[in-house]
Chains A and B, each alone.
Chain A
């Protein structure tokens, strides 16, 4: 059994086939472009730098949550309690800052830990008792909501005292100065280039086939252009929003976890066929509990973002956020049965949903109608999932 360079296998690295479906990769950007064109025609401010910047902030909380929910959707579970959890964690931090005078970083840290602990317990409960996550997280949704209202005593708890500004409030109000944005972009592009080059060297060293240099360079150029465009647009308003940067960091971490670690591969395997995954030696219970634990941390971050955006914890922070998050994932190609989905898809899905909502707000659509549209979009997304699922 001597290694030989494969003559006929394609240049794509092993495993990429599972993450994308050809149909989906075309429909999503197409849908996004269609929606943007529609709203740009109906409401000229839609494409203004200010509005796009607001869109990015509105997007951040839901997209962060979507990326977290992806971690439990992939192994075939679900979580209906993330919205209530976001409210709860945001509320804990608000109360600590506003009513007990804690410094914002400490309050956020403690609340983050609460989220992680709560979700790891929920995950343990689900796997040890073999109860459907749907029911447990549904109960969680109700319990966490009640706990949230208890924590804030159903009052409005601002994220910062008096007129001061703290880290908490800064999450959705801080913008990176222009130069910082460019430094970030340059750094990311450099990192991507270094990783690509190192990957190619490694493949050459072991004798595996590599994709043509032109394609690799092209991909880097396109990525650099996209990043530069974002910074450029943001620069026209006030700069790169901190919330958006946080979203990108979380999304990157989850992307690396799902695509470049054994843990990620295990998530897909468990979702695709849990029995076979067990027989293959995958520690199914451990992986699922870990996924829920990670989700707990991400729920906290999303909770901070939502609460900061609202300026205060009110009883409605986090309402229905779980549906938006799950809808974003499904629109982006995640299967509710597990085994299929990607971070990029979830981000696209969140962007589509946020664009819809933003456009409707600009057109002064009544809140009742907006709710109906959200419901219809969710139904369409699930229908698409089923249709494309059976076409596989």
Chain B
């Protein structure tokens, strides 16, 4: 896939309005040299060097966990100077941001996916939030409105500055956010997945504005998973992998398959001790053409999804963020969304509109991807957390049996090797890995037959990860069915027997173990299934 524009990057660079060198190439506005950032023992960024020129759109690509967010946070001052190694230079001079405000003052603005707008205020108020147009101690509303209108007009955005932000669509809100950044005379704009929440026409508007900004000399860093978009928009593309910058390519000189290859190209070491079952057993869960939406009125986020899982099997579910992996599992479990179409059969019986309680009763349990929010009661001790889903098993004649409860809690505590002083220790004080073990223990105590694991090794150390993998092996050896959602392709490929890749809520591809191939998996996640047919091999 090559670029379609007739004018190449070289010719466009010559009409830059921004600061330029005598030879006509634009100046480097932002430069990062040898950035290294560690969190505990984990290297989020390793010796990353990056430069951004005025009047350029520079795309940043990489898998989940490659270091894109960390790089942005470091550049924008969220990680203050001193918490990282290396240098950041703006216009050639070193800068040491101690806070976001410092970066703001230097003309650097970041626009995240989570919009920082106040819904109850108007567009004009939001644009100048924090940099109010004042007349002495009073806010000059006339000027606010006028300046907002002027800014919007400059970019040909037809939004009335008096509209309340909550009444705008997400796409328009995003534009307001960009105008807000520009209202502060940002020279460097960083956009994190700006089109993730946009559709059709809004995407076009955004891209047009970005091209206009580029023409005016603004330097733009553009993070996106949508490689086709990146190819159409960016001048240069830098690919991060495992915290290091792998390569920087001119968009005109590359194509999507090359990008994917650079994003992925590592050897899978044998970190995943998966024992393949010899004969998977009966079908325990079957999903047939499932379509579901978050609320009865909203548009569906899951489309026509079909798959099945058998006893003793580990089914991996992958896809980009926002593809609907968690939503799929949560919906089947009964904690999300309304079913629009499709049928689900659990252990041979229909599973129409369950609640989590019913699912657990029927042998389906879920470990969510946010243990602090949905998995644990941080103020309760470990024992109380472990037994919470299974109190019926330690109750006799309506009363809790403290001896029985302690016994079964201790059994799981020991079996999972939770490192803590005892059952009475508060769960909030445990490390991530041990907290995850408690959540797993709670799920396993319900004696399930189908187990959903959503990012079970997120945020835990290597040793604990291995223990989780061994646990998955044990579970499938016991004849249970495991559905594993993971953002890390190597983990998914290493631990699954089959993989379903989701793309924007639909199945992008189903892969048997023999067909596991990183590039093809990633391709299935990033491009819609051709002609609506499932990509098999």
The chain A residues found within 8 Å of chain B, CB to CB, are 1, 3-4, 6, 8-10, 12-18, 199, 202-203, 205-208, 256, 260-262, 264-266, 268-269, 272-273, 275-283, 339-340, 392
- Closest A residue to B357 using CB positions: A281
Closest 10 CB pairs of A and B: A9-B422, A262-B391, A281-B360, A14-B406, A13-B402, A281-B357, A203-B403, A14-B383, A272-B377, A1-B415
Given A18-B381, A199-B402, A265-B384, is A276 in contact with B375 using a C-beta cutoff of 8 Å? yes
* B140: interface (CB < 8 Å): no
State the Cβ distance, A51 to closest chain B Cβ, in Å.
39
Residues of the B chain whose Cβ atoms lie less than 8 Å from the Cβ of A203: 402-403
Q: CB of B414 within 8 A of chain A?
A: yes
Query: Does B238 reach chain A (CB closer than 8 Å)?
Result: no
Task: Bits for B1-13, please: 1 = Cβ < 8 Å to A, else 0.
Answer: 0000000000000
**B 418-438 contacts with A by CB, 8 A:** 421-424, 426
Q: How far is the CA of A14 from the CA of B407 in the complex (A)?
A: 10
* Apart from A1-B415, A4-B410, A9-B423, 9 more pairs, CB < 8 Å: A1-B411, A3-B411, A9-B422, A14-B383, A206-B403, A206-B404, A281-B446, A282-B388, A340-B379
In whole angstroms, what is the CA distance A4 to B355 when docked? 35
Contact residues in B for A272 (Cβ distance below 8 Å): 377-380
C-alpha gap A10/B382 in the complex (Å): 13
Provide the residues of chain A in CB contact with B383, threshold 8 Å. 14-15
Task: Name the B residues within 8 Å of A15 (CB-CB).
Answer: 381, 383-384, 400, 402, 405
Contact A273 B391 (CB under 8 A): no
Report B-chain residues with C-beta under 8 Å of the C-beta of A277.
377, 388
Report the minimum CB–CB distance from A92 to chain B (whole Å).
31
CB of B138 closer than 8 Å to a CB of A = no
B515 CB within 8 Å of chain A: no
Q: Say yes or no for B126: interface residue by CB 8 A criterion.
A: no
Which residues B308-359 have CB closer than 8 A to chain A?
333, 335, 355-357, 359
Cβ contacts A to B, 9 pairs, < 8 Å: A9-B424, A13-B402, A205-B403, A206-B403, A262-B391, A266-B391, A269-B377, A269-B384, A279-B356
The reply on B376 being an interface residue by CB < 8 A is yes
Among A3, A10, A256, A265, point to the contact of B410 (Cβ < 8 A): A3
Residues of B within 8 A of A202 (CB): 401, 403
- A273 touching B378, Cβ below 8 Å: yes
Q: Is A199 in contact with B403, judged by CB distance below 8 angstroms?
A: yes
Residue in contact with B398 in the complex, picked from A205, A261, A266, CB distance below 8 Å: A261
Q: Of B356, B388, B410, which contacts A9 at CB under 8 A?
A: B410
Give B402's nearest chain A residue, CB to CB.
Answer: A13
Q: Decide: B380 and A8 in contact? CB cutoff 8 A.
A: no
- C-alpha spacing A261/B407, complex, angstroms: 17
A18–B399 alpha-carbon span in the complex (Å):
18
Q: Is the CB of A17 within 8 A of B424?
A: yes
How far does the alpha carbon of A184 sit from the alpha carbon of B376 in the complex, in Å? 43
Asked whether any CB of chain A lies closer than 8 Å to the CB of B389, the reply is yes
Question: Closest approach, in angstroms, between the C-beta of A28 and any C-beta of chain B?
Answer: 20
Asked whether any CB of chain A lies closer than 8 Å to the CB of B21, the reply is: no
User: Which residues of chain B have a CB within 8 Å of any CB of chain A?
Assistant: 333, 335, 355-357, 359-361, 366, 368, 373-381, 383-384, 388-389, 391-392, 395, 398-407, 409-412, 414-415, 421-424, 426, 442, 446
B375 and A18 contact, CB distance less than 8 A:
no
Closest to A339 in B: B379
Question: Which residues on A sit within 8 Å (CB–CB) of B403?
Answer: 13, 199, 202-203, 205-206, 208
A110 to B218, CA, bound (A): 77
Shortest CB distance A102–B (Å): 34
B83 to chain A, nearest CB (A): 26
What's the Cα separation between A282 and B355 when bound, in Å? 10
A1 to B401, CA, bound (A): 20
Q: Which residues on B sit within 8 Å (CB–CB) of A8? A: 421-422
Q: Are B374 and A276 in contact (CB under 8 A)?
A: yes
Give the distance in Å from the alpha carbon of A10 to the alpha carbon of B421 in the complex: 9
Q: Quick one: given A265-B384, A281-B357, are A260 and B389 in contact (CB under 8 Å)?
A: no
Inter-subunit contact A208/B406 (CB<8 Å): yes
* Nearest CB on B from A295, distance (A): 20
Q: Cβ of A1 and Cβ of B414 under 8 Å apart?
A: yes
Known: A14-B402, A273-B378. A280 touches B424 (CB 8 A): no
Most buried by A among B361, B389, B391, B392: B391
The distance from the CB of A87 to the nearest CB of chain B, in whole angstroms, is: 34
Complex CA–CA separation, A13 to B401 (angstroms): 10
Taking the closest CB of chain B, its distance from the CB of A316, in whole angstroms, is 40
| Max count, chain A CB within 10 A of own CB: residue among B388, B403, B415, B421 | B403
From B399, B410, B415, B442, A280 is in contact (CB under 8 Å) with B442
* A272 to B388 Cα, complex, angstroms: 12
Known A279-B356, A279-B375: A262·B400 in contact at CB below 8 Å: yes
CB of B381 within 8 A of CB of A261, answer: no
Residues of chain A with a CB closer than 8 A to B407's CB: 3, 206-208
Contacting residues, chain A, for B402 (C-beta < 8 A): 13-15, 199, 203
A14 CA / B376 CA spacing, docked (Å) = 17
For A256, what are the chain B residues with a Cβ–Cβ distance below 8 Å?
A: 399
Residue of A nearest to B380 (CB): A18
A16 to B388, CA, bound (A): 15
Q: B424–A14 contact, CB under 8 A?
A: yes
B316 to chain A, nearest CB (A): 22
